[in-house]
Amino acid sequence: MHTTHFSLASWRQGSGLLAIALTLSAASTQAGNWPQWRGPELNGSCAETNLPIRWSQTNGFAWKTPLPGKSGATPVVWDNYVFVPSPDTEKNLKLFCIDLKTGKILWQNIVGKGDRTSGKNNMASPSAITDGKRVYTLFGTSDFAAYDFSGKEVWHRRLSDDYGAFALMFLYGSSPLLCDGKLYLELIQHNPPQYPHAVDSKPERHSYVICFDPETGKTLWQKERNTGALDESMEAYTTPVPYNGPKGKEIIVVGADWVTSHRPDNGEEIWRYPNLNPKKRKDGRIVPSPLVMPGLIAVCGSKHELMVVLKADASGVTDESQVVWKTKEAVPDVCAPLYYQGKMFVLDGDKQILTCYNPRTGQKIWQGRLSVSEIFSASPTGADGKIYCFSEDGTVVIASAGDHFEILNTIPMGEGPSASSIVAANGVILVRTGENLYCVQPTAENRK
């Protein structure tokens, strides 16, 4: 298949839209930290340099800390603190705080109980998020809590009391968003709650974008999100992202056949793009989160169906005039796209194909196959001129982020299943396997 380009008469590479930079939340401006799932830039990249590219499961790392259970949650980092959600052997759902320098567990708290697995997912899939004062964590049981850095609970809510048990086939997988001093969640789920783990006393489920006060956990507003999606297509595992456009801040949400943009102060819908499921398939759940770039928003449909890059400035229900370019080639089913050094990187984790695009035009700069025939569910990370990819079997593949496809190294760590993205923060690399958290510090030998 080939990439299809849509020419927009109003689109100019030098336009003001292209000059718009993504405004970061207060939590993401602290240099060196990785405060949320997709990092300080909210796009999978960071400004770390001199990072290692050579280590192994047995040597070359500073420390490794055993974790009691598997989880797709990516570690988050603030200064010397690493926060990692994980189930334990008793099916408790815990948040671990780990010392970045030593790997010592500083504290661990039970946030919820009743881990379970559906497909590749479990109740500990959402990543935590931190603003440097508190850490916020959410589990698929709907337990949502905040702790200070000493491990003291600030607040705890069980969201199912208000919204019912989360009704998604493969359990809840969205992570919280911090933006301008507020917490946001999306809850895009099946109605009615047909799955056994979601059946409770509430007969119906609605989908929402929800805003919380980080100080208290109180709901500030909730906006119901209606679409015409059917059956499993009603469900999404995406995480919302902010976009700072010419008309102000917007919260971008993808799922249930649609892309929607919401006002951060009240949740009112600004615009929606309706064509993420052109075949109207009923099994079209969406996993990859949206990617925000200057003037552009990249979104994926379900199951390798479609990737669309949209002009960000819109209003109302839009049509194909909002599309800058789209493709059906090597589209991710799970991995979120990456924006790094002005390029967009897209990983089809099932086919092990990594593609580099010019995001403004859709021009394919290069495309190559990763060095192992393994499934990749973790989203790629961009740092130090490199793309770090991590397979479910625990293999790290490091590619160049330059103008030509090049594999720099392949590191079999093992200890799968692994679905957590690699983190680059405060001068080190963090790799979460299905058994351990590894910290790799750069040395003169492992940077070459």
Start-end of H helices in 272-397: none
Provide the pLDDT for residue 447.
Answer: 80
Q: Which domain holds residue 115?
A: 3-17+32-440
Note the pLDDT of residue 27: 35
Predicted TM-score (pTM) of this structure: 0.92
Q: Evaluate whether residue 26 is within a structural domain.
A: no
Closest CA to 95 of 143, 61, 133: 143
Split into its structural domains, the chain has a count of 1
Q: Is residue 24 part of a domain?
A: no
Residues contacting 201, CB < 8 A, separation 6+: none
Q: Evaluate whether residue 23 is within a structural domain.
A: no
Cα–Cα distance for residue pair 108/154, rounded to 1 Å: 15
- Taking the chain (448 residues) in runs of 10, the rounded mean pLDDT of each run is 34 34 36 92 97 92 97 98 98 98 98 96 98 98 98 98 97 97 98 95 96 98 96 98 91 97 97 94 96 97 96 93 97 98 98 98 98 97 98 98 98 96 98 98 83
- What pLDDT sits at residue 247? 79
CA dihedral over 2, 345, 54, 77, signed as positive or negative: negative
Q: Report yes or no on 27 lying in a domain.
A: no
- The single residue listed with the structure tokens 């500073």 is 62
Residue 74 lies in a domain: yes
- In this prediction, residue 246 carries a pLDDT of 79
447 in a domain, yes or no? no
User: Nearest CA to 32 among 358, 430, 437?
Assistant: 430
Domain containing residue 293: CATH number? 2.140.10.10
Instruction: Give the per-residue SS3 of 15-74.
Output: CHHHHCCCCCCHHHCCCCCECCCCCCCCCCECCCCCCCCCCCCCCCCCEEEECCCCCCCC
E strand or H helix that includes residue 145: strand 143-148
Q: What is the pLDDT of residue 175?
A: 98
Whether residue 54 contacts residue 410, with contact meaning beta carbons closer than 8 Å, is answered with no
Tokens read off for 246? 């010419």
Locate 43 and state its tokens.
């796009």
Pairing of strands 316-317, 307-311: unpaired
Distance CA 243, CA 248 (A): 8
Asked, for residue 22, whether it belongs to a domain, the answer is no
The pLDDT value recorded for residue 14 is 34
What are the two backbone dihedrals, phi and then psi, of residue 65, each rounded to the nearest 5 degrees?
-120, 120
Q: Are 294 and 22 in contact (CB under 8 A)?
A: yes
In a domain? residue 446: no
